[in-house]
Amino acid sequence: MIIMTDFAKHLENFFIKYLIGECGSSRHTIRAYRDSFSLLLLFMKKTKGLNADRIELKNIDKGIILDFLLWLEKEYNNSLSTRNQRYAAIRSFCRYLQYVEPTRIGEWQSIRSIKLKKPLTKTISYLSIEAIKLLLEQIPTNTQSTKRDLALLALLYDSGARVQELIDLTPSCIRHEIPYTIRLTGKGKKQRIVPLQKEQVNLLKQYIEDHGLDNPEKEFGPLFLNRVGEKLTNPGITYILKKYANAAKNVNSKIIPNILSPHILRHSKAMHLLQSGINLVYIRDFLGHKSIQTTEIYARADSNQKREALESVYVNVIPEKNSERSWEKNKSLKDFLKSLGE
C-alpha cells in the first residue's frame, strides 16, 4: 500500500484548492505549472534517485531547486525565459507552503529568494505595414477555410491579441455595431475591449455566416475552428501563418523574415501604433500590459523614431568656417583611419 507523502498531499492541494479553488487560475497557468512540476519530478528521479511517490518536503531545499534550474538549462536546453517560468511555479508553491507548513518557513523563503536570471535583451522582431499587406494578400478567398485564415490573421494583427486570447474568442465577443469592438480575455482572466476597423468586422461577419456561427446556440462556442469543428490550437495557428508567410517570402524575401510566429503580428501592431504617434499609455491598455514598463520595449526598439526625433530638435551650434573638417587636412590621420578597414 502506497502512503501519500506530505509533498504529494500539499502539491495536490496547491493545484486543486489553491490555484483552482482560491485563485481561479486559468487553464493556461495550470498547464504551465503542471509541466514545471512534472519536470521537477523527473529531475528528482534521474539525479537524486527518488521516485515521485517517495519525495517528501524534507527533500526540497534551495540547493535542490538551484540544481533543478541548472539542469533545465543544461539538459533540457531551456531558455532563460522558460527557466524563469518553471521557477515561478515553484516559487508560487513555496509561497503557499509558508502558510500551510510554517515549521519550515525559513526554507520556503530561502527558495523564494532565488534570483531570476535576466536574459540578454533581444531585438524585437516585427513586420512593416508593407509586409503585413503582402502576407494577407497571399490568402485566397475562394473557400471557407481560406476565408477563415484571412479573418483570423487579419484579426491577430488588427487586435494585437495574444495567440491564446484569439483561441479563446467566441462569436459573442464581437460587437458588430458602431463602435466596432472585440472583447479579449488576457492573463489573469482580465478582459479588455479593443476597437476594430469596419473592414475587419466585415471579414468576421462573413466568416461567421459561412460557418453558421451566427446560430444562437453557437454564440459562446469557439470562434475559430479547425477542419473537424474543434477549437484551433497554438500550433494550428502557427501552421496557418507559416503557410502564407512562405508564399509571401517567394514574392518578396527582403521584407518577410525566415522565422515568423503569431506573436510577431502583435509586436508589429504595437510598433505601428507607436510609429503613428499613439501614446504609450494607450498602447499599454490596447495590448493588455500590466505595466507601462513592458510597453516601453517598443519605444526602445524603434531606432527610426529615435533618429527622427533627435534630428527634429537638432540645432547645429558648431561654427563651420570651412567645409573641410580639421581631420581631413591631416594626411597621417586619414591614412590611419583608412588602415582600420584593411
The pLDDT of residue 124: 78
Kindly report the pTM of this predicted structure. 0.61
Residues of the chain with CATH 1.10.150: 6-112
The pLDDT of residue 72: 94
Assigned architecture for domain 129-306 = Orthogonal Bundle (1.10)
State phi, psi for 191 to the nearest 5 degrees.
-100, 150
Could you tell me the CA-to-CA distances from 126 to 7, 130, 228, 298 in Å, in that order?
Answer: 45, 11, 32, 10
* DSSP annotation of 191: E
- Direct distance between the N- and C-terminal alpha carbons of the chain, in angstroms, rounded to an integer: 77
Is residue 67 within 8 Å of residue 47, measured between CB atoms?
yes
C-alpha cell at 97: 507552503
Instruction: For residue 144, name the pLDDT band (cuts at 50, 70, 90).
Output: confident
Closest by Cα among 202, 207, 219 to 144: 207
Q: Helix and strand tally (H, E) in the chain?
A: 16, 3
Other beta carbons less than 10 A from residue 50's beta carbon: 16
- 305-333 residue pLDDT tens: 555 544 554 455 445 555 554 445 556 65
Mean pLDDT of the chain: 86
In words, the CATH class of domain 6-112 is mainly alpha
The whole-number average pLDDT for the span 205-226 is 90
Q: Which residues are catalytic?
A: 162, 187, 263, 266, 289, 298
Could you tell me the CA-to-CA distances from 174 to 67, 144, 193, 217 in Å, in that order?
Answer: 48, 20, 10, 16
State phi, psi for 273 to the nearest 5 degrees.
-65, -45
Residues of the chain with CATH 1.10.443.10: 129-306
Type and span of the H or E element at 309: helix 303-313
